[in-house]
Amino acid sequence: MKILLVADLHYALKQFDWLLSEAPHYDVVVMAGDFLDLSSLATLEAQIVVVNTYLKRIAEKTQLVVCSGNHDLEAEEEGERVASWIRSLGGTRICRDGQHVLTGNTLISALPWWDGPLTKTAVRDQLARDAEARPEAGSWIWAHHAPPADSGLSWGGSRSYGDSDLVQWIEAFRPDIVFSGHVHQAPFISDGAWADQISGAWCFNMGQQPGPIPSHIAVSLEADEAIWLSQMGLSRVSLSGHGSPTSLDALPDWF
């Protein structure tokens, strides 16, 4: 299985165009939050209409998994902000907030951005339910916008912007892979990272870059490796190892 991870497109329509063209080359596309941009001149309502169209078109080409980020919250329920538009997404090939999808022997869970105790409890409850559906000999992958706290993935240059509850959930439920975003600069700065291992789980944050092609991560479960592609170049990690990422001069054959 080949999986593409992006996040933090923030209504960069050229990057959505690129993703639409790349989607057919992957078995699964994971978009880990922040589809919208709160600083855009376009209203959130207008952005949602456009992004919805892109998501439906991507799902026509491959399995799509989406989770909300902090920029995607457009409604309020019981005093907490939520991305109701993401929860309303339909289609047999769109897995969104609060759902999971089983592709082959790989279970992927889409976890919403939590803005308060009610949504945080809902995430914890979802993980407990999804753990029951985990294939015995397969992999379990999470999509969660905020990266784990106190990791290079969440390092902003002066402090961590990660989720400490996510660290506890990783320790409790032991996923194989966690896909995140949120901290745009983390992979590009000193003491930051695009890949980290936490309690045995490989955790990833591809970062954000300008231009028509977003920084992204491609994972091959068969080749047991992940590669990071950005304006900084190419880097890889072995999913079966415990080493640090290494630079690549060329793309692997599976890519």
Per-residue confidence (pLDDT) for residue 91, from 0 to 100? 82
Which residues face 80 on adjacent strands?
77
How far the first Cα of the chain sits from its last, in Å, is 11
Which among 249, 172, 160, 178 is positioned nearest to 219, based on CA atoms?
178
Q: Is the CB of residue 162 less than 8 Å from the CB of residue 144?
A: no
pLDDT tens for the chain, 255 residues: list them: 999 999 999 999 999 999 999 999 999 999 999 999 999 999 999 999 999 999 999 999 999 999 999 999 999 999 999 999 999 998 889 999 999 999 999 999 999 999 999 999 999 999 999 999 999 889 999 999 999 999 999 999 999 999 999 999 999 999 999 999 999 999 999 999 999 999 999 999 999 999 999 999 999 999 999 999 999 999 999 999 777 899 999 999 999
CA 251, CA 107: separation in Å to the nearest integer? 27
In CATH terms, the fold of domain 2-248 is Purple Acid Phosphatase; chain A, domain 2 (3.60.21)
What integer pLDDT is reported at residue 19 of this predicted model?
98
Model pTM score: 0.97
pLDDT at 45: 96
- Residue 104, amino acid: G
Mind giving me the DSSP string for 11-58? T-HHHHHHHHHHGGG-SEEEE-S--S-TTSSS-HHHHHHHHHHHHHHH
Distance CA 24, CA 44 (A): 28
pLDDT value of position 137? 84
Q: How far apart are CA 221 and CA 108, in angstroms?
A: 13
Contact 106, 135 (CB under 8 A): yes
